Structure 1
């Protein structure tokens, strides 16, 4: 049955819904030119996101504070925006050993909407509100909506605001109506899409960049890295097991054989193995030092605690030089 459609008072006036002059004759172009227009449009995305660096940093600090306090970061979105939230949250587990008790994604329509479009679910404001209603007192709610007006996201942000929770909006509409419900509004202006209104293009790329920067920076601040090495990575396959050894080679400046031996002695813990190698101590001594210096975002210059742990282990077991 064909639905009866009524004129809408709030016509699509935001920038992603406007005609892009560079692509008005898109369907008349040969393949190479179509691809060229699409890629040329993407070149402006990085600059639009970079202009939001201060706001991304502010949102990152909210994420760090929430997780450090034992709270959960909630990504709330629908369609492409919501799927990007799911992607970011899911990838934090193998990369940083962060599970859904720390970062959880809520996609309108449920997880089935990951592979089957359920666009009508974005209009369910009550479903969004129920997410924030069930959130903890230390949680932060991050709305993902290219248009900046999605009812599902509005429900979550409004209820979070009512409860006094911290909120963030990530949208590519500089005039996003939901910005007023956020403590931090990240609004990169990506402009009209090559396909009018298709926010799976530039808008989605921008949101992915924001999420990458925000979540990665938060994990660094939370002590999930040493230098630029992923020390809490889950080595769930041969490639990642080899990467664990390689990280120890790079972090401690040792050979592969010594790195592998230290990793085995540490029971597969990169943290313990790295301190063992840096301090020149056995795995048990390293483990004690690691336990005494847990990750702490408030420790300047050493959020992972591994530098402090290695220094303690080294002083407790000085190397005798002949």
Structure 2
């Protein structure tokens, strides 16, 4: 039986251990670039995956990231950034990693084969959740079991793998295939496969943030500032969008408890309660809320037209 691509030898890797440092790094970098190029063909699948992610969050479900080894680390990195970047409630994110989340530098390898532990962990999955299962080989027992159990419990599944025809795709509503070349260091999927996975996860979750109204002209308006760096970033966003001075932006942010979107509306003259109510009426979409302030009659007509077309 032929080895999966992620375990094959790279044709240009022979003698890499005898090369000068820079020459070895050039080959490693070439491998990373080649891996990243595979993401382009997966954009339609990532679009579909993002739509499922946004739908799960919008409807009260959760994102359940699942994996083992380096694939799980890529998934975990994406998951942990979502609250700070796009204001996703941490309670709406679940990370299931073979062996549990690392507490130190130890990450045992045998746990990726523990399908029974995965089945137990998957009992936390609920209908309406979205499972994002990541596995370089696409056959790792732990994420396979999570995907299988998740489907049985009424969740939908996005599967990300680096081998065409991976078994995990059979369990997926959306299959994201990233056919990365063999690793320059054979089997070291933290390299090319991991790079492609990280890019794919970043793209899909960022598009999710856009769909959820957490991005405005490239600014992460879903942010809630809780440290000095983020307070400065939030101030800049409120200044730019609302067209106010730094002092006015700081005052609005104070009234909004550091949340950018209501702060923008407060800076435009609304009370904190009115700003929150308007954002509720526009499903958290700042652009739609600003349109109501700038031209309420036009915004109302547009909404009437949209409702009419839906009927």
How does the TM-score come out when normalised to structure 2?
0.88
Instruction: Find the counterpart in structure 2 of residue 246 from structure 1.
Output: 236
CA distance in structure 1 between the aligned counterparts of 2:20 and 2:139, rounded to whole angstroms: 36
Offset from partner CA, 1:66-97 (integer Å, 9 cap, x none): 11111111111000001111111111121122
Tell me, yes or no, if structure 1 residue 72 matches structure 2 residue 62. Answer: yes
Tell me, yes or no, if structure 1 residue 189 matches structure 2 residue 169. Answer: no
Instruction: Find the counterpart in structure 1 of residue 287 from structure 2.
Output: 307
Tell me, yes or no, if structure 1 residue 286 matches structure 2 residue 266. Answer: no
Instruction: Find the counterpart in structure 2 of residue 170 from structure 1.
Output: 160
The offset of 1:37, in angstroms, is 0.5
CA distance in structure 2 between the aligned counterparts of 1:48 and 1:163, rounded to whole angstroms: 32
The offset of 1:203, in angstroms, is 0.3
Residue in structure 1 matching 2:143, options 140, 153, 175: 153
Q: Choose 192-201 or 162-171, whichever is displaced more.
A: 162-171
Q: Which has more helix, going by share of residues? A: 2
SS at match of 1:112: coil
The offset of 1:65, in angstroms, is 1.4
CA distance in structure 2 between the aligned counterparts of 1:36 and 1:202, rounded to whole angstroms: 14
Mapping of 1:6-155 within 5 angstroms?
13-112=3-102, 115-155=105-145
The offset of 1:268, in angstroms, is 2.8
The offset of 1:234, in angstroms, is 3.0
Q: Could you say what the CA RMSD is over the residues aligned between the two structures, in angstroms?
A: 2.0
CA distance in structure 2 between the aligned counterparts of 1:236 and 1:164, rounded to whole angstroms: 36
SS at match of 2:88: coil
Offset from partner CA, 1:137-176 (integer Å, 9 cap, x none): 1111111100100001111112223334211111111131
CA distance in structure 2 between the aligned counterparts of 1:284 and 1:110, rounded to whole angstroms: 42
SS at match of 1:286: helix
**In 2 relative to 1, CA 177–282 (structure 1 residues): closer, same or farther, beyond 3 Å?**
closer
Equivalenced residue count is 296
Offset from partner CA, 1:98-148 (integer Å, 9 cap, x none): 234222211100113673121100001112222333311111111110010
CA distance in structure 2 between the aligned counterparts of 1:124 and 1:181, rounded to whole angstroms: 18
Instruction: Find the counterpart in structure 2 of residue 211 from structure 1.
Output: 201
CA distance in structure 2 between the aligned counterparts of 1:24 and 1:117, rounded to whole angstroms: 29
CA distance in structure 1 between the aligned counterparts of 2:116 and 2:103, rounded to whole angstroms: 18
Q: Do 1:76 and 1:128's aligned partners in 2 also have CA atoms closer than 8 Å?
A: no
Unaligned runs of 5+ in 2: 297-311
**In 2 relative to 1, CA 282–139 (structure 1 residues): closer, same or farther, beyond 3 Å?**
closer
How does the TM-score come out when normalised to structure 1?
0.85
Offset from partner CA, 1:211-270 (integer Å, 9 cap, x none): 101111112111222222112213221111111101112223333233223323444332
